[in-house]
């Protein structure tokens, strides 16, 4: 059963366009002010993770994983944290390596982060699990993919405190999504991502001279080129295709053992048909696939005084209850 094509999300009539939905929150959505408490967690490989806590005195924690080149002060993380706190959850944003404070804090080692890097999430959950008996997970885009891979690749090692997960706008098939982003229609997004990644590579090279070959960096135009040259070799993959195959979350869905909501909008400009795993979800007990007609990539805009998107409402509903009805 866990396929719900009849989502409750209804976009405002003038926002029924995937690109508009994707861009609108970044440009126009009010930014909440969150008084984070920063904690630096040392990793086993001599690096660190910057964790941003927003506590309300709850016994329950939700960990938030941001998307590609996001961070805890990005609009999607800020709004989700505000909604979680209002709903009675303590919240923790995991800033992936080299992402804290919009990438202004470089990490110590050559490693970055990527769509299948679950070791850091595992370490953060183990750390938080010392303080909370129940933990839920939510994430967007790349962060959502990381959560799905964590839950499904080695389900027997998922921390016992983790009870539910809700993820949104997830490129479940990295190869097809990467090629979709290389299309002419998505060239502005691609330029933005690659510019940000190039800036981080230069900061890494300044910190670790001789570790990166930056010649021709500004000529890279696609994720195929970037992942072939940097992501794959840095993280132990043969090439981009190998990285995409190993880290796409769809093959791991069948092994997920906790209730998990996956929401992908049909008009998401970043996703292809391969990112809507209807057949897989229909045969599963724990993964609930929801596919609204509109929503774009991390959009799902609602116009209301409380500044809540449908994403935040749906996440809270699923994480707090059985959450399968889709009604918000």
Q: How many CA atoms lie within 13 A of 215 on its CB side?
A: 2
What residues act catalytically? Answer: 141, 268, 297
d(CA 188, CA 119): 31
In whole angstroms, what is the distance from residue 61 CA to residue 224 CA? 36
How far apart CA 55 and CA 38 sit, in angstroms, is 11
> Are 90 and 60 contacting, i.e. CB atoms less than 8 angstroms apart?
yes
Structure tokens at 47: 């690096």
Cβ pair 137, 63 in contact under 8 A: yes
DSSP β-bridge partners for residue 138 = 64, 166
Looking up tokens 């994720």 gives 223
Structure tokens of 84? 């979680």
Residue 287: beta bridge partners? 260
Q: What is the C-alpha separation between 51 and 125, in angstroms, rounded?
A: 11
Which pair of structure tokens corresponds to residue 119? 């070791």
Kindly give the pairing relationship between strand 90-95 and strand 162-168. unpaired
DSSP 87-139: TT-EEEEEE-TT-HHHHTS--SSS----TT--HHHHHHHHHHTTT-SEEEEEE
């Amino acid at each position: 059963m866990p396929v719900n094509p009849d989502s409750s999300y209804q976009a405002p009539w003038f926002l029924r366009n995937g690109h508009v939905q994707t861009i609108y929150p970044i440009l126009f959505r009010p930014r909440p002010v969150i008084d984070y408490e920063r904690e630096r967690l040392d990793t086993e490989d001599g690096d660190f993770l910057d964790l941003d806590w927003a506590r309300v005195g709850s016994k329950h924690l939700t960990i938030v994983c941001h998307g590609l080149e996001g961070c805890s002060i990005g609009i999607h993380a800020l709004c989700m944290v505000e909604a979680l706190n209002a709903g009675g959850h303590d919240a923790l944003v995991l800033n992936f390596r080299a992402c804290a404070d919009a990438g202004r804090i470089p990490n110590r080692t050559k490693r970055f982060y990527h769509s299948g890097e679950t070791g850091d999430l595992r370490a953060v959950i183990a750390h938080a699990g010392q303080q909370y008996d129940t933990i839920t997970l939510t994430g967007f885009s790349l962060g959502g993919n990381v959560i799905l891979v964590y839950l499904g690749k080695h389900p027997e090692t998922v921390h016992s405190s983790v009870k539910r997960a809700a993820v949104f706008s997830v490129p479940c098939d990295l190869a097809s999504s990467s090629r979709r982003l290389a299309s002419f229609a998505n060239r502005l997004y691609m330029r933005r991502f690659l510019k940000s990644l190039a800036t981080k590579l230069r900061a890494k090279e300044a910190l670790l001279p001789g570790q990166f070959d930056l010649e021709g960096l500004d000529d890279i135009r696609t994720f195929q080129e970037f992942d072939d040259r940097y992501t794959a070799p840095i993280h132990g993959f043969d090439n981009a295709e190998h990285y995409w195959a190993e880290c796409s979350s769809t093959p791991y869905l069948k092994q997920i053992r906790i209730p998990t909501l996956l929401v992908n909008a049909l008009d998401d400009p970043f996703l292809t048909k391969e990112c809507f795993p209807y057949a897989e979800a229909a045969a599963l007990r724990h993964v609930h696939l929801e596919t609204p007609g509109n929503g774009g990539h991390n959009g799902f805009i609602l116009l209301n005084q409380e500044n809540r998107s449908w994403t935040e409402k749906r996440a809270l509903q699923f994480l707090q209850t059985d959450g399968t009805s889709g009604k918000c």
